[in-house]
């Protein structure tokens, strides 16, 4: 006899647990900055738990070898294997641009203002300079990894629009520049979206918003492969002795 598990039920229970946690924060944490921090931490913990160990998840600034810095990013998905430096100063993390796979802005609600805000954050990261050098391995040397577009998105608990991903949402996202483009997003109790290369987009039901978001995000990350190996010599030029 073959035992089976109801995968849809497991996925929906995961979503309901996340909704309950965020609702608890919304109803019991009254101070706005503290509430925002708690929501960000919930999403960081969720993705840190369910994404493979190769992916690190944190709140951070992104920097490049020229010293240029991005806006502060609520949620950064990054890799340390080939870009090993993650700086931490006074509790704030600074991650090299080469290490970054994806960035997200975390807000309470999905609306035009927050889409534009998330898009500006995306532009501040995608505008940074990234390097790529050959990777030496046991059998020889891999050529420099091509620089890919960093995935950018927005994560919210709900939406100010009805329907959440209707015409106003499409108009707000259509107005974004290429550097501002939001690839993926989630309004947890309303639905998630994924923009495709041809300009069209997929959406989920509200019931399946979280699992749709997670699976599509994981697919995007898989398709990116590995981050480029950073040119450490360029970063080290900030030192007087090098």
- Tell me whether residue 237 is in a domain: no
Q: Is 189 a catalytic residue?
A: no
- Residues 224 and 220: their CA atoms lie apart, in Å, by 6
Q: Is 58 a catalytic residue?
A: no
Taking only the tens place, the pLDDT of each residue in 178-188 is 999 999 999 99
- Tell me whether residue 27 is in a domain: yes
- Tell me whether residue 1 is in a domain: no
Give the model's pLDDT for residue 120. 98
For β-strands 184-187 and 151-159, DSSP reports them as parallel
Mean pLDDT of the chain: 89
- Residues 5 and 102: their CA atoms lie apart, in Å, by 32
- Using an 8 Å Cβ cutoff, are 194 and 202 in contact? yes
- Tell me whether residue 97 is in a domain: yes
The whole domain housing 151 covers 8-132+144-232
pTM over 0.85: yes
Q: Is 98 a catalytic residue?
A: no
74 phi and psi, to 5 degrees?
-60, -45
Provide the domain count of the chain.
Answer: 1
Out of 74, 79, 123, 189, which one is annotated catalytic? Answer: 74
- Residues 105 and 10: their CA atoms lie apart, in Å, by 27
Out of 107, 121, 123, 189, which one is annotated catalytic? Answer: 107
- Tell me whether residue 28 is in a domain: yes
Give the model's pLDDT for residue 33. 65
Out of 40, 64, 98, 105, which one is annotated catalytic? Answer: 105
- Residues 117 and 136: their CA atoms lie apart, in Å, by 40
């Amino acid at each position: 006899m073959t035992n089976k598990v109801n995968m849809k039920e497991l996925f929906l229970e995961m979503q309901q647990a996340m909704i309950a946690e965020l609702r608890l924060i919304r109803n019991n944490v009254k101070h706005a900055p503290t509430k925002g921090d708690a929501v960000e931490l919930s999403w960081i913990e969720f993705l840190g738990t369910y994404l493979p160990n190769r992916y690190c998840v944190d709140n951070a600034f992104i920097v490049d070898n020229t010293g240029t810095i991005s806006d502060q990013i609520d949620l950064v998905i990054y890799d340390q294997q080939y870009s090993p430096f993650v700086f931490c100063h006074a509790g704030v993390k600074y991650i090299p641009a080469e290490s970054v796979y994806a960035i997200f802005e975390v807000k309470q609600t999905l609306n035009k203002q927050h889409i534009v805000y998330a898009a500006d954050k995306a532009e501040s990261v995608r505008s940074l300079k990234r390097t790529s050098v050959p990777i030496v391995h046991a059998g020889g040397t891999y050529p420099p990894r091509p620089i890919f577009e960093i995935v950018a998105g927005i994560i919210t608990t709900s939406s100010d629009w009805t329907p959440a991903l209707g015409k106003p949402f499409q108009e707000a996202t259509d107005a974004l520049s290429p550097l501002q483009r939001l690839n993926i997003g989630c309004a947890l109790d309303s639905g998630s979206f994924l923009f495709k290369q041809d300009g069209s987009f997929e959406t989920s039901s509200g019931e399946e918003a979280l699992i749709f978001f997670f699976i599509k995000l994981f697919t995007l990350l898989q398709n990116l492969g590995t981050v480029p190996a950073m040119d450490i010599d360029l970063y080290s030029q900030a030192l007087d002795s090098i």
